[in-house]
Amino acid sequence: MPLIRLTLEYDGTDFVGWQFQTNGRSVQEEVEKAIKQILQVDIRITGGGRTDAGVHAHGQVASFFVEREVEINLLAKSLNAVMPHSIIVLEAMEAPLDFNARYDAKSRRYTYSIRQEPTAIQRNYCWQVFQKLDLTLMQKCAQQIMGTQSFRSFCKVETDIHNHRCSVLASQWIQKDKLLIYEISANRFLHGMVRTLVGTMVNVGRGHTKYEEFHKILESNDRSFAGMSAPAKGLFLEEIMY
């Protein structure tokens, strides 16, 4: 009974997120439907990252067992032939039997894109912010969250988790062509964490929140002090490290 590992790319615009939900199409549902069509089996896949509605991925990972022989070399091509054009399998491979796409992840890397000029083509893949932003202050905010600490101020209030500590391995703003890109890697992420961090740092950058307040927000463990959650469309799951 082989364990299959898929690496996926998807445009999350028209999906309710990665995970199966009753209120709309999910990426997980579409991938499982394609697997059933190709392999003629009902399976449940495990995703490496639970992206929200409208969030995209360049390097999502999923794993599943299948009780039959699988031609691995043809699997990616076969799945891509029947899946929606907004989802593709970049790679399919056989993994060790004890591999789990979610629980074996050592860290994940996300990026968030902001564009400060109007765009038609990129409108579903970035947050258009037309006010002047102080990138120096935003970069200082990004550096403050490095290391291991509580990020309770930057997660959704209704989350049912009890551990809010995360170890941030990288956090920086990068100017690339006409995009301002925030890049963050961590051992784990809380629900809504990246988008709330971005929204709060943008508030600092445009002068709505004083730079000195950012550290106080981080230490407060109170979501009500942080800024708005940045729109989902600018967020990308880039890579999962194992």
Domain 107-241 in this protein, CATH class: alpha beta
pLDDT category at 159 given cuts 50, 70, 90 is: low
Strands 235-241 and 3-10: unpaired
pLDDT category at 22 given cuts 50, 70, 90 is: confident
**DSSP assignment of 111-152:** EEEEESS--STTTTSSEE--S---HHHHHHHHHHT-EEEE-G
DSSP 158: T
Contact 63, 5 (CB under 8 A): yes
Give the per-residue pLDDT at 148. Answer: 98
Higher model confidence: residue 12 or residue 177? 12
Domain 3-95, classified CATH 1.10.287.610, yes or no: no
pLDDT category at 166 given cuts 50, 70, 90 is: very high
Give the per-residue pLDDT at 68. Answer: 84
Q: Is the pLDDT of residue 119 over 70?
A: yes
Question: pLDDT tens, 217-232?
Answer: 999 999 999 999 999 9
Q: Is the pLDDT of residue 12 over 70?
A: yes
DSSP 52: B
Supply the residues annotated as catalytic.
52
Task: Give the global pTM.
Answer: 0.95
- d(C-alpha 8, C-alpha 107), whole Å: 17
| Same fold? 3-95, 107-241 | yes
Beta bridge partners of 31: none
CA dihedral 93, 38, 33, 99 (to 10 degrees): -20
Domain borders along the chain are: 3-95, 107-241
